[in-house]
Structure 1
Amino acid sequence: MKFQMIAWGRVSWFRLDKKFGFVELEGGIGDAFLHVSVLKAGGYVTIPAGTTIRVRVETQADRRRVIEVLSIDTSTALAGEPAPVRSKKAD
């Protein structure tokens, strides 16, 4: 059975060369898989670790994946991380 929720979290890591990363969800829920296609639909190509993000998450069989990015706050990104890259579509 699948279910969805909206949650806040922080990007644990994201690698453009792998085309995915993970978001650590608030409240001790765990982490959620973030694919580059979902990130691009939210207006970004890549984002640095530490970025605060509000997402819609789908859970199935104890696996969570981000299915929609609702908001992104890069002001919380970790020092030394590369700058975020916005998609051309968002400009």
Structure 2
Amino acid sequence: MSEIAKCAAKRFRSERGYGFVTLPEGDDIFLHLSILRECGFEAPPQGATVEVEYRPSPKGLEAIRVLSIEGGTPEPEVPIPDHIVAARVKLFDFRRGFGFAIPFGYPGRDVFFSMDALDALPTAPAPGEAVVLVLEPGPRPRAARVLRWDQATHSGEALDVAS
């Protein structure tokens, strides 16, 4: 059973192919780029009002149709300048083998990391945990390595990675 609602565009990263809109009650709805394009739209700017038809899915709420997009102001993409950044873990899904962290000073700029980037950690990082990300070069931020905050600030190993 689907419902229709006017939502606020929360964040959308065209290069990743998906984003989120937020219901007035605060719940997020997953919005895939293919749904936008099927309905004749491109990525909505942050703050735009997006009218969507949505339904529950095994992973949460998902948009199945976009009816309209109004307003909003595109925000310029601020590149993350350093190849080593401090961040806070947003989420990590051990079963799926990946997670996201948000670099300090860059709200809304999620950085992807896979299980492979955790080779130096004895356990997976917890949401909210401060970490240091060693980023791969390229247009989209992706962590090649994730170090615990205390490990990066007190070990010589982290200094070797930086050079």
TM-score by length of 2: 0.43
Map of 1:1-91 to 2, 5 A cutoff? 3-26=1-24, 28=25, 30-61=27-58, 63-73=60-70, 75=71, 77-78=72-73, 81=75
Secondary structure at 1:47 match in 2: coil
Amino acid at match of 1:40: R
Amino acid at match of 1:54: E
Secondary structure at 1:45 match in 2: coil
The structure with the largest strand share of the pair is: 1
Secondary structure at 1:13 match in 2: strand
Which consecutive aligned stretches of 4+ in structure 1 deviate over 4 angstroms post-superposition? none
How many aligned positions are there? 76
TM-score by length of 1: 0.74
What runs of 5+ residues in structure 2 fail to find an aligned partner?
A: 77-163
**How much identity, in percent, do the aligned residues show?**
34
Q: Deviation of residue 61 (structure 1)?
A: 4.7
Greater relative contact order structure (CA < 8 Å, 6+ sep): 1
**Deviation digits for residues 15-62 of structure 1 (CA, Å, limit 9, x no counterpart):** 011000000012x15010000000112212222111101110011357
What runs of 5+ residues in structure 1 fail to find an aligned partner?
A: 83-91
2:126 aligned partner: none
| 8 Å contact kept, 2:44–2:69 | no
d(CA) in 2 for partners of 1:21, 1:58: 16
d(CA) in 2 for partners of 1:45, 1:54: 14
